[in-house]
């Protein structure tokens, strides 16, 4: 199955010093997976030009189809994402008229609401200063627009770090584009819960079943209960055909259940 490969780059010191749990990358990987994409890697880097630029370059060199960054699009000195991306791609930064319009409109709206004065200060113009050739992505809930750049066969997308802004731009602007470009493979998935068998005892059976059915099986130990080992078994199949993918997952689970009857105390499908 041919896959469309994504990488996520999360930018922000707060993600590396224990301040902030990286829920953005989790949300993005979940949404991308359900759109049919394959997330190969998540990289979290600090608000430093070299770190951002090298992370983007490395992802491009791995041949990933989509590179999605979040964080570092705001007005402060340490919002360096666009400078880092421009450096990685060898592009100049320039004032983007479309982005400027979006930002000016947003500040006028906030002025009407009494939150601030709408003048376009240098720190605000910074948010409209994008790598040459960028398309801004409308931010319906905040100020800094997202940014989309086509690079040879790949896309680099920059989203804000504020979760509500990142999600809104992803869902409203990006998801439709991803859906129209993605190589579709259906991903069937079911989970079984198992009591009374240790992961190490299950390992040979998993090996056998995953080879027989061409599925991926991942076991997750979830502690012990009254001395008994408990496991979750996630079974996945990626196939162009939905029916076939489901059939393989169900077949693998049936085979596991049969092989474990009399050994496992419980085998429940979720």
Contacts with its own copies in 119-158 (CB under 8 A)? Answer: 121-124, 127, 142-143
In the complex with its own copies, the residue whose CB is nearer, 150 or 220, is 220
Residue 234 within binding range of its own copies, rule CB under 8 A: yes
Tokens representing 225? 């209960």
Residue 183 within binding range of its own copies, rule CB under 8 A: no
Tokens representing 36? 């049919």
Residue 262 within binding range of its own copies, rule CB under 8 A: no
Residue 204, C-beta contacts closer than 8 angstroms, at least 6 positions apart: none
* Shortest CB 22 distance to its own copies, Å: 6
Spatial separation of the C-alpha atoms in residues 164 and 169, rounded to whole Å: 9
Residue 263 within binding range of its own copies, rule CB under 8 A: no
- Region 94-123 residues binding its own copies, contact defined as CB under 8 A: 110, 113-116, 121-123
* Shortest CB 250 distance to its own copies, Å: 20
Residue 268, C-beta contacts closer than 8 angstroms, at least 6 positions apart: 192, 193, 194
In the complex with its own copies, the residue whose CB is nearer, 60 or 110, is 110
Tokens representing 77? 């000195």
In the complex with its own copies, the residue whose CB is nearer, 21 or 269, is 21
**224-229 CB contacts, 8 Å cutoff, 24+ apart:** 225/195, 228/195, 228/196, 228/265, 229/195, 229/196, 229/197, 229/198, 229/199
**Distances in whole angstroms, Cα of residue 215 to Cα of each of 5, 74, 151, 235:** 19, 43, 34, 7
Residue 15 within binding range of its own copies, rule CB under 8 A: yes
Residue span binding its own copies (CB under 8 A) among the ranges 80-88, 149-157, 206-214, 244-252: 206-214
In the complex with its own copies, the residue whose CB is nearer, 164 or 181, is 164
């Amino acid at each position: 199955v041919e896959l469309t490969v994504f990488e996520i780059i999360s930018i922000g010191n707060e993600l590396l010093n224990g301040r902030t749990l990286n829920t953005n990358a989790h949300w993005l990987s979940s949404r991308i997976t359900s759109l049919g994409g394959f997330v190969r890697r998540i990289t979290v880097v600090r608000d430093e030009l070299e770190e951002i630029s090298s992370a983007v370059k490395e992802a491009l060199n791995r041949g990933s189809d989509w590179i999605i960054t979040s964080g570092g699009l705001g007005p402060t000195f340490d919002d360096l994402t666009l400078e880092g991306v421009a450096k990685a791609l060898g592009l100049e930064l320039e004032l983007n008229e479309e982005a400027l319009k979006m930002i000016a409109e947003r500040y006028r709206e906030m002025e009407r609401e009494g939150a601030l004065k709408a003048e376009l200060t240098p720190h605000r113009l910074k948010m409209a200063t994008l790598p040459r050739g960028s398309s801004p992505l409308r931010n319906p809930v905040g100020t800094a627009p997202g940014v989309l750049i086509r690079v040879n066969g790949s896309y680099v997308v920059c989203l804000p770090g504020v979760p509500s802004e990142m999600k809104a731009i992803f869902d409203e602007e990006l998801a439709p584009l991803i859906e129209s470009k993605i190589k579709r493979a259906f991903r069937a998935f079911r989970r079984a819960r198992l009591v009374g068998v240790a992961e190490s005892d299950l390992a040979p059976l998993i090996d056998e079943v995953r080879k027989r059915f061409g599925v991926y099986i991942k076991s997750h130990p979830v502690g012990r209960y009254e001395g008994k080992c408990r496991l979750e078994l996630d079974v996945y199949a990626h196939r162009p055909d939905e029916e076939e993918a489901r059939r393989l997952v169900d077949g693998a689970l049936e085979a596991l259940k049969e092989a474990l009857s009399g050994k496992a105390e419980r085998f429940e499908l979720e």
